[in-house]
Amino acid sequence: MADKRMSEDDVVARLRSGMTIGIGGWGSRRKPMSLVRAIVRSELRDLTVVSYGGPDVGLLCAAGKVRKLVFAFVSLDSIPLEPHFRKARQSGQVTTEEYDEGQFLLGLQAAAWRVPFLPTRVGLGSDVFRLDPSLRTVTSPYPGPDGGPGEELVAMPALELDAALVHYNRADERGNAAYLGPDPYFDDLMLEAAATGGRFLSAERIVPTAELAADGCRHSLKVSRLMVDGVVEARNGAHPTSCVPDYERDEAFQKEYAGSARTDEAWAEFSAAWLELPDEATYQRKVAAR
Amino acid sequence: MSVESFARADVCAVAIAETFRGDGEILANPIGTIPMVGGRLARATFEPDLMMTDGEAALIANDEAFEWPDGKVLEAWNPYRRMFDIVWSGRRHVIMSPTQIDRYGNMNFAAIGGDLAQPKVQLLGLRGAPGNTICHPTSYWVGNHNAKTFVEQVDVVCGIGYDRAAALGPVASRFHEIRRVVTNLCVIDFDTADHRMRLRSVHPGVAVGEVVEATGFELVVPDEVPVSRLPTDEELRLLYEVIDPTNLRGKEVPD
């Protein structure tokens, strides 16, 4: 029976520079931040990051880890515009592929189902085609609504991932996991869109399988071990993003993080205090002592 | 409460509510302070079958727009994935807030200036605008009507306007509808032959010339421009006592 438990640094050791990495959560909610911090501490670079973006995207951009960003938005929720992401965009530091939020879902779904694209109306007429010149349309082989020629739709390409990182509330050591908040977001799709061997899930608590549904119900068991290669126990691992019902967003910390985008000095100070640390345990001790 | 005591923000909320008139049993999804107040007002009065979100992952029956001291009355679980199902089904009317919008309703809130690889000002990104506008009715809310928002040409087309939908034909136009643009000054619709913006009404105390001045392109202005509908006594009671008792709407649009 496979015990998939590992540390954040074990996960990073399985990643390579240049990889395409999907990051779960949504905005500043249930982000696998302990894994993101481990990437920031590592030598990894030139990553393509695929995310419904929040501080994961901002941190990785500010730390110079991102070559390309695939996104529909990047937001800190209570702070609508992510300042580090804006800085990266406005300096031309990262290349981008920008989609509608729903197109993004279809891209992950296509990858998960191992088809090259999924058809959709979404994107027609918009600047999605200017933002991603490689985007193509596909003509339906079936008659149109009026019996005429088939409709020409957007062929949303599969967003295939080399690796996926997500954070859940509970997991067992084999990779089954439960979310306890109001929304599963797209974490399960992220895992299914990623190559076998690159699917990593951190969780607030690793519990015996029999206790997985103890704090929720059977519908909270959204991720199964078929979808996971490595499990990391990461208490407060989504900090500073929210991970309800375990904890809310740390708004004060997030404000400090956002403020660090103002000057190079402010960023250097933030980075020294919160990122250039030996490990996640040190970070969590410092957070607890705030 | 007498009708004389209404504020500009109340008129805006009523104008937002009016955009949902006739929508029936769909998801009314107004985003932003005054839009959320207006949507709740429509449901509490003439569109009782609308469904509305709590801003998170639920559809709730409460009339209160922002706080639910007695708890939420859940009608349905609506995580983001379900939201896309609703968007693509067409059973939704969204209200978004543009950073730029042109005469045909092309809308931008993604980025301003520079070029696509390096915008001068990065904003939200495309979010759900391409999908919303091509799948179901959309209205817009502009809290500060000015010529930097109402422009000849938007820098990035996030939400598509009538000219672009028409150019693509039925595949794009069959579910496309930009119904209204409600601002702090007026109500605009697209009831012209080629779906250009037309001044539908001005809020009490606003001159037509003021709107024209604050619009960065030529707005179609009928000979007679009515005044926007005033709130009824019952609407004012709902606004002040139930939907938005702390008057967040007044902070967005002061008198």
Give the whole-angstrom CA distance, residue B239 versus residue B56.
22
Give how far B233 is from chain A: nearest CA, Å.
35
Please provide the DSSP assignment of B30-83 as one string.
Answer: E-SHHHHHHHHHHHHTT-TT-BEE-SSSEEE--S-SS--TT---EEEE--HHHH
Give the whole-angstrom CA distance, residue A74 versus residue A55.
8
Closest to B91 measured CA to CA, from B58, B31, B50, B44: B50
Assigned architecture for domain A8-99+160-288? 3-Layer(aba) Sandwich (3.40)
User: Does residue B145 have a pLDDT over 50?
Assistant: yes
Is B135's CB within 8 Å of A81's CB?
A: no
Which two tokens mark A222? 């959204």
pLDDT 10s digits, B102-122: 999 999 999 999 999 999 999
Chain B residues in contact with A127 by the CB 8 A cut-off are 110, 116, 126, 156-158
Chain B residues in contact with A123 by the CB 8 A cut-off are 130-131, 134
B5 confidence band (pLDDT: 50, 70, 90): confident
Domain ranges of chain B: 3-249
Give the model's pLDDT for residue B117: 92
The single-letter DSSP state of residue A26 is: B
Q: Which chain B residue lies closest to A93 (C-alpha atoms)?
A: B118
Q: Which chain A residue lies closest to B77 (C-alpha atoms)?
A: A182
Give the model's pLDDT for residue B3: 47
What mean pLDDT, rounded, does chain B reach? 96
Name B95's Cβ contacts closer than 8 Å, sequence gap at least 6: B16, B19, B29, B30, B31, B32, B35, B38, B39, B138, B139, B140, B141
pLDDT 10s digits, B10-65: 999 999 999 999 999 999 999 999 999 999 999 999 999 999 999 999 999 999 99
Question: Which residue type occupies A122?
Answer: V
User: Does residue A216 have a pLDDT over 90?
Assistant: no
Strand partners, A49: A21, A69
Q: Does A147 touch chain B (CB under 8 A)?
A: no
Q: Does A75 touch chain B (CB under 8 A)?
A: yes
ipTM here? 0.94
**Best CATH choice for the domain B3-249 from the list 3.40.50.1360, 3.40.30.10, 3.40.50.620, 3.40.1080.10:** 3.40.1080.10
Domain ranges of chain A: 8-99+160-288, 119-157
Give how far A72 is from chain B: nearest CA, Å.
5
Give the model's pLDDT for residue A215: 87
Chain B residues in contact with A96 by the CB 8 A cut-off are 117
Give how far B81 is from chain A: nearest CA, Å.
7
Chain A residues in contact with B128 by the CB 8 A cut-off are 72, 100-102
User: Does residue B179 have a pLDDT over 90?
Assistant: yes
Q: Which residue has the tokens 């999804």?
A: B29
Q: Does A154 touch chain B (CB under 8 A)?
A: no
Q: Which chain B residue lies closest to A109 (C-alpha atoms)?
A: B81
Is B171's CB within 8 Å of A73's CB?
A: no
